[in-house]
Amino acid sequence: MTSDDCNDKGKTGMVPEVANSGIMRPPLIYLGAIALGLLLHFAWPVRLVSRTVSVPLGSTMVLVAVALFFYAVRSFLTAGTPVRGNRPTTTIVCTGPYRCSRNPIYLSFSLLQFGIACWVNSFWLLVTLVPAVALMSFVVIPREEHYLETRFPSDYLPYKASVRRWL
């Protein structure tokens, strides 16, 4: 979908077909941030904390991130709606981790990168997490929220008012 398509749909009041049809795919945003962080880490290593702290903290955060991701995906599958943002949403999921966060999958991606940063003991992985979260917060999530508000106004607006975006 081009930007003209989005503008035309906004003018006519039509609902976009999908929440995220663009190139800003959340997994790619985080993978890009991790790849850049690792490149910077190997070029100019800057440590965060001692190794005795980094490995237990990092591995715990990675496990929490993976568990949260699978719990969130299972909630989507149970509700019968696709996980991928480039497919039409069929319902608002407000069970499981979606009771506490409107974006637990994105939260799990952030926790995963934070966990890897701690585990690898890399300041750069932590630094590259900041623009990834900013891009999600100011570009990707608002676009998805607009889609859901337009597609499910009676369900999504009360949900949005009662559950925080991240935590």
> Residue 143 falls within a domain, yes or no?
yes
Domain membership of residue 135 (yes or no) is yes
* Domain membership of residue 114 as a residue range: 52-167
Quick check: is 166 in a domain? yes
**Within-domain flag for 129:** yes
Which ranges of the chain have pLDDT less than 50?
A: 1-12
Strand, coil or helix: 86: coil
104, part of any domain = yes
The reply to whether 164 falls in a domain is yes
Does the residue 31 lie in any domain? Answer: no
Q: What is the pLDDT of residue 84?
A: 85
**Number of domains within the chain:** 1
Q: What's the pTM value of the predicted model, to 2 decimals?
A: 0.87
CA 91/CA 86 separation, integer angstroms = 15
pLDDT at position 26: 94
Residue 86's pLDDT is what? 82
pLDDT at 105: 97
In a domain, 43, yes or no: no
In this predicted structure, what is the pLDDT of residue 12?
42
